[in-house]
Amino acid sequence: MKRSFSKVLLTLAVAAGLSLTLASGMSFAERAPMAPLPSASGVDIPPLSVPANPNSLANGTQAQAQPANPSIFTAPNSDPQNYVSIPDKESGVLIQRAGQEWRLIRNGVITVYGGWLLAIAVFAMLATYTIKGPMKLHAPMSGVKIKRFNAFDRLVHWLMAFSFLALAFTGLLILYGKYFAMPLMGGVAYGSFLMLCKNIHNFTGPLFTLTIVIFFLLFARKNIFGQGDMAWILGFGGIFSGKHIPAGFFNFGEKFWFWFGMTFLGLIISGSGFVLDMIVPFMDIQYLRGTMQIANIIHSSAAILMTAMAMGHIYIGTIGSQGSIDGMKTGYVDATWAKEHHEIWYNKVNK
């Protein structure tokens, strides 16, 4: 019994000495190799294998350098799946390398360059309004009203406009809120507020998509490239000359917004948003991490681009051009406005 107790004390003493050696910072190469320790059963305990660099245990290089050990730091950090006995298809990937790439793209390319794009759009609107002010009509209002949109046209437009504003506001908070809202609100309040924004975003998305489809069916025919569009393109819409170029029911700038901004980008945003919401109808989509990451990159990029373009559309349709908002407010526009901005359509109406 005493002999066993003395061996235990000897083992503890050796362990304490090893700890003191580590604490003193003495190089492992300077110490003599440790002899096997006697055990109570009479079987010698093999000497401890201490790495030459203590930090190698933390960064995983020790596991990689020893052929006998499994590569516990390299095998999980890979996209190929390992074997698992549960039905979850992604459980075989412990660490997904593509997730780091997605994070760098989202927080680097999209957040930084997207932020600059939005800032340039806001600055351009402020500079234009400050320097030139709203575009005034060259002649006074005539008081003669011409019908431009019916009640259903305006209802669909305003539903699309308000749903877009809700999506843009909540989406920008989800993307940029942690940089300015979280420091002001605190982590707990910001988390609850962000969850509210997420729910508003998710439930408003289908309404936005529905309005895009209806608006497309209502006005696709009037947005076909036609008379006056080439002259509008060559004259840059009269921006530099200050002259109104004759146009049909919609000018080329409005047609470009209709086809690229509203239809193309709007449907890209809607489709990728449905993938993120996991509600894509009539399609067998595997909602894996990689699928969601690609959908998120597409969704964020298209949304920022559409938001920047929408700023210009909103500016021109409200304070940027005299009389432009009347058509969507009342359904009627003044004859003077119609003649200056859409002279080809105005002449057809007069006939």
Cα angle: 331, vertex 334, 340; to 5 degrees: 120
Judgement on whether residues 141 and 13 belong to the same structural domain of the protein? no
Interval 336-344 mean pLDDT: 93
Q: Of 19, 50, 65, which residue constitutes the final position of a domain?
A: 65
From residue 13, give the alpha-carbon distance in Å to each of 18, 20, 38, 329.
9, 11, 13, 89
pTM: 0.74
Q: What is the CA radius of gyration of the chain?
A: 34
- CATH code for the domain in which residue 214 is found: 1.20.950.20
Whether residue 74 is contained in a domain is answered as no
Whether residue 335 is contained in a domain is answered as yes
Judgement on whether residues 52 and 121 belong to the same structural domain of the protein? no
Q: What does the pLDDT read at residue 32?
A: 45
Is residue 11 within 8 Å of 47, Cβ to Cβ?
no
Cα angle: 61, vertex 108, 90; to 5 degrees: 55
Whether residue 90 is contained in a domain is answered as no
Judgement on whether residues 177 and 290 belong to the same structural domain of the protein? yes
Whether residue 121 is contained in a domain is answered as yes
Whether residue 290 is contained in a domain is answered as yes
Is residue 299 within 8 Å of 108, Cβ to Cβ?
no
Task: Using DSSP bridges, classify how beta strands 145-147 and 332-334 pair: parallel, antiparallel or unpaired.
Answer: antiparallel
- Cα separation of 238 and 242, whole Å? 5
Judgement on whether residues 50 and 182 belong to the same structural domain of the protein? no
Judgement on whether residues 115 and 170 belong to the same structural domain of the protein? yes
Is residue 45 within 8 Å of 37, Cβ to Cβ?
yes
Residue 15 pLDDT more than 70? no
Interval 36-42 mean pLDDT: 50
Judgement on whether residues 325 and 277 belong to the same structural domain of the protein? yes
Judgement on whether residues 248 and 165 belong to the same structural domain of the protein? yes
Q: What does the pLDDT read at residue 53?
A: 55
For the ranges 36-40, 123-127, 312-316, the lowest mean pLDDT is seen at 36-40
Residue 10 belongs to what domain range?
Answer: 2-65
Cα 168 to the chain's mean position, in Å? 11
Name the band, by pLDDT with cuts 50, 70 and 90, for residue 134.
Answer: confident
Judgement on whether residues 48 and 103 belong to the same structural domain of the protein? no
Judgement on whether residues 156 and 245 belong to the same structural domain of the protein? yes
From the CB of residue 189, how many other CB atoms can be counted at a distance below 10 Å? Answer: 12
Whether residue 279 is contained in a domain is answered as yes
Residue 187 pLDDT more than 80? yes
Name the band, by pLDDT with cuts 50, 70 and 90, for residue 302.
Answer: very high
Q: 13: left (phi > 0), else alpha (psi -120 to 50), else beta?
A: alpha
Judgement on whether residues 48 and 113 belong to the same structural domain of the protein? no
Q: 40 burial class (0-12, 13-18, 19+ CB within 10 angstroms)?
A: exposed
Tokens 């009539």, located at residue: 282
Number of structural domains in the chain: 2
Whether residue 304 is contained in a domain is answered as yes
Reported as a single tens digit per residue, the pLDDT across 42-98 is 545 455 455 555 555 444 454 445 444 445 445 555 566 666 767 776 777 777 778
- Cα separation of 208 and 214, whole Å? 10
Measured in degrees and rounded to the nearest 5, phi and psi for residue 286 equal: -85, 115
Whether residue 178 is contained in a domain is answered as yes
Q: What does the pLDDT read at residue 7?
A: 52
As a whole number, the mean pLDDT across the chain is 81
Please report the beta strands in 188-244, taking only residues with DSSP state E, as ranges in sequence order.
Answer: none
Judgement on whether residues 159 and 214 belong to the same structural domain of the protein? yes
Reported as a single tens digit per residue, the pLDDT across 265-301 is 999 999 999 999 988 766 667 778 888 999 999 999 9
From residue 170, give the alpha-carbon distance in Å to each of 177, 185, 191, 197, 270.
9, 16, 13, 5, 15
Interval 235-262 mean pLDDT: 88
Q: Of 65, 80, 108, which residue constitutes the final position of a domain?
A: 65
Judgement on whether residues 211 and 149 belong to the same structural domain of the protein? yes
User: What is the DSSP track for 99-127?
Assistant: HHHHHHIIIIIIIIIHHHHHHHHHHHHHH
Percent of the residues in the chain that have a pLDDT greater than 90, as a whole number: 54
- Cα separation of 293 and 105, whole Å? 10
Q: Of 42, 65, 88, which residue constitutes the final position of a domain?
A: 65
